[in-house]
């Protein structure tokens, strides 16, 4: 039976393990490291959280471990339940009973997490990016004899990026777009600060475009353990104003968007991008 693993924050109890009866003779941080070492042998982990037991539960800790793949979580549960792990006494490992979240609550993975998941499934450097367009939309106006801080009040830096993520081993390309905006009302005096803010805003636009491109790809895990990839272009456009803006921005050469085979303008016209930050959990 094959399994589809999207480039999204994993949801559902079938991907989440609860580990009980962890030793009270340690602290949360070394326990977290040890659990990561033990359970990462079964597959790529999204997160490992360690918490102290409630007052009625007595001393000790419990952990919540989340996998990207339900198959990996099941294998880990069967192999490690009632085993000693790194303790002198066995621990209890259960699959979470929490019901699967509805689809519209799925959150996009941060670009670095997308890269990590791609490297795990397709090999190190199994994916790359090609920037098609990086455009400055700030339209900043500096007036003569005016202090730069005053000139930039109520203005912002704004960059648009269009790129494609390439999975070389699968001959698959996925286009993505992103836009980032940074207000300048609190800009420190001096051109160096403006230069650094421009670099940061450019980087954020590229990161958002990468996240958007990865959202159109699915990791396909076969029964044999081998991996493949599926392309699923977006079909819904939630912001008509944004769509029109992107159509005016994208004027570059055609490229082959495999496996769909469309030209660039056909694929990019269907894109969605968010001007707000993606809602991502704090992991550190």
d(CA 134, CA 198): 12
CA-based max dimension of the chain? 75
Exposure letters 86-112 (e unless 16+ CB within 10 A, then b): eeeeebebebbeeeeeeeeeeebbbbe
The CATH architecture of the domain made up of 3-95 is: 2-Layer Sandwich (3.30)
Q: Six-digit token pair at 251? A: 């004027």
pLDDT at residue number 263: 36
What is the side-by-side strand order in the sheet with 227-231?
Answer: 3-6, 217-221, 227-231
Per the prediction, the chain carries an average pLDDT of: 76
Residue 206 Ramachandran class (φ > 0 left, ψ -120 to 50 alpha, else beta):
alpha
Q: For a pLDDT cut of 90, what percent of the chain falls above it?
A: 42
Q: What is the residue extent of each domain of the chain?
A: 3-95, 111-141+155-231
Measured at the alpha carbon of residue 155, what is the angle toward residues 195 and 131, in degrees to the nearest 5? 50
Beta bridge partners of 173: 166
* 5-9, 97-101, 168-172, range with the lowest pLDDT: 97-101
Measured CA to CA, the distance from residue 55 to residue 76 in angstroms comes to 29
DSSP annotation string for 82-99 = TB-TTSSS-BEEEE--PP
Rounded-to-10 torsion of CA 201, 206, 207, 212:
130
Q: How far is CA 14 from the centre of its chain?
A: 20
Query: Is it the case that residue 203 has pLDDT exceeding 70?
Result: yes
pLDDT band at residue 27 using 50, 70 and 90 as cut-offs: confident
- Model confidence over 114-133: pLDDT tens digits? 999 999 988 887 788 999 99
**What pLDDT is stored for residue 8 in this prediction?**
93
Q: At what angle do helices 191-214 and 111-122 cross, to 10 degrees?
A: 50
pLDDT in tens, 77-94: 999 999 988 877 899 999
- Residue closest to 127 by CA, chosen among 69, 160, 171, 179: 171
């Amino acid at each position: 039976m094959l399994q589809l693993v999207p480039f999204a924050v994993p949801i559902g109890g079938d991907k989440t393990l609860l580990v009980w009866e962890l030793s009270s003779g340690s602290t949360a941080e070394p326990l977290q490291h040890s659990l990561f070492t033990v359970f990462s042998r079964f597959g790529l982990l999204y997160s490992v959280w360690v918490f102290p037991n409630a007052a009625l539960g007595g001393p000790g800790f419990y952990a919540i471990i989340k996998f990207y793949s339900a198959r990996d979580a099941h294998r880990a549960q069967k192999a490690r339940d009632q085993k000693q792990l790194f303790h002198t006494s066995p621990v209890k490992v259960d699959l979470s009973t929490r019901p699967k979240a509805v689809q519209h609550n799925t959150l996009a993975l941060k670009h670095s997490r997308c890269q990590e998941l791609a490297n795990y499934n397709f090999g190190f450097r199994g994916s790359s990016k090609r920037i098609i367009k990086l455009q400055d939309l700030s339209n900043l106006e500096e007036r003569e004899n005016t202090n730069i801080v005053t000139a930039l009040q109520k203005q912002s830096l704004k960059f648009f990026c269009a790129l494609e993520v390439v999975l070389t081993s699968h001959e698959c390309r996925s286009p993505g777009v992103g836009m980032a905006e940074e207000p300048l009302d609190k800009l420190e005096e001096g051109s160096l600060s403006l230069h650094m803010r421009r670099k940061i805003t450019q980087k954020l636009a590229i990161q958002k475009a990468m996240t958007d491109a990865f959202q159109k790809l699915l990791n396909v895990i076969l029964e044999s353990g081998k991996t493949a990839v599926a392309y699923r272009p977006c079909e819904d456009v939630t912001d008509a104003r944004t769509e029109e803006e992107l159509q005016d921005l994208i004027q570059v050469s055609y490229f082959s968007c495999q496996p769909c085979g469309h030209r660039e303008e056909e694929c990019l016209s269907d894109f969605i991008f968010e001007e707000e930050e993606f809602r991502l959990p704090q992991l550190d």
